[in-house]
Amino acid sequence: MDAVLLRLLDVDIQEQSKDNTNETSGEIVRLEHFDNDYQTSDVLKKNFETYISGYLVKKCLKVHECETCRNYARSVDELDNDRIFCYFKSYHQNTSIFGGLMMPGNDFVLFISKLDNFFRTAFEEIIIKPNIVKTLLSSTTCDFKHPCDFFPYQYLLKLFFRVSLYYTLKTINENFKSRTNKQKMIIWNNL
């Protein structure tokens, strides 16, 4: 794992090994080249978006599969900071660096990121309305151009909004389910 991370940062591994290990004392020395502040770094968010984008494009391939769509779903074959999680999560079933995982292009990942931002900003207003997914579908302004004219764009939007809604409500319900913190239930009852 360290070798992959160091390769991403263009750091000479052997030079780092000499500088950062103390073989006589057995003491572990931390590498200083990594940004460990994950609260300010967006590496985790980008890795998550890339992984979810692969999942969504895989589901779309089950609805419509052609050579253009298959090539687009695996258009990325290089390792960078936004795909570290996918590299370690891969199934290593074939010769691809990401194994059996789908790695769509950056434009698709950016589109999913825009959809996610739209969902997060619109969620509080739309949650009180009936037919939430229909409302989200009609009010989304995110555009995406796929190389295949028959790509199931509406299916992708519906799937994304359903999955986002499911996990958002699941998280909210788990927060209220806490048995150790009665204060949450008191606040909820007083609303």
Q: Which tens digit of pLDDT belongs to each residue from 40-69?
A: 567 677 777 877 888 898 888 889 888 888
By mean pLDDT, which of 32-46, 150-164, 172-186 is the weakest? 32-46
Q: Which tens digit of pLDDT belongs to each residue from 104-156?
A: 778 888 999 999 999 999 988 888 888 899 999 998 888 888 888 898 999 99
pLDDT band (50, 70, 90) for residue 16:
very low
Determine the pLDDT at residue 119.
Answer: 93
User: Residue 71 falls within a domain, yes or no?
Assistant: yes
Show the domain range for 143.
43-176
> What is the tally of structural domains in the chain?
1
User: Residue 188 falls within a domain, yes or no?
Assistant: no
The residues near 2 (Cβ < 8 Å, ≥ 6 apart) are 13, 31
User: Residue 191 falls within a domain, yes or no?
Assistant: no
User: Residue 87 falls within a domain, yes or no?
Assistant: yes
Alpha-carbon gap, residue 183 to 189, rounded angstroms:
10
User: Residue 190 falls within a domain, yes or no?
Assistant: no
Three-state DSSP class for residue 147: coil
User: Residue 18 falls within a domain, yes or no?
Assistant: no
Determine the pLDDT at residue 175.
Answer: 77
Alpha-carbon gap, residue 9 to 11, rounded angstroms:
5
pTM exceeds 0.85: no
User: Residue 93 falls within a domain, yes or no?
Assistant: yes
Using the CB atoms, write b or e for 39-71: b if 16+ within 10 Å. eeeeeeebbebbbbbbebbebbbeeeeeeebee
User: Residue 142 falls within a domain, yes or no?
Assistant: yes
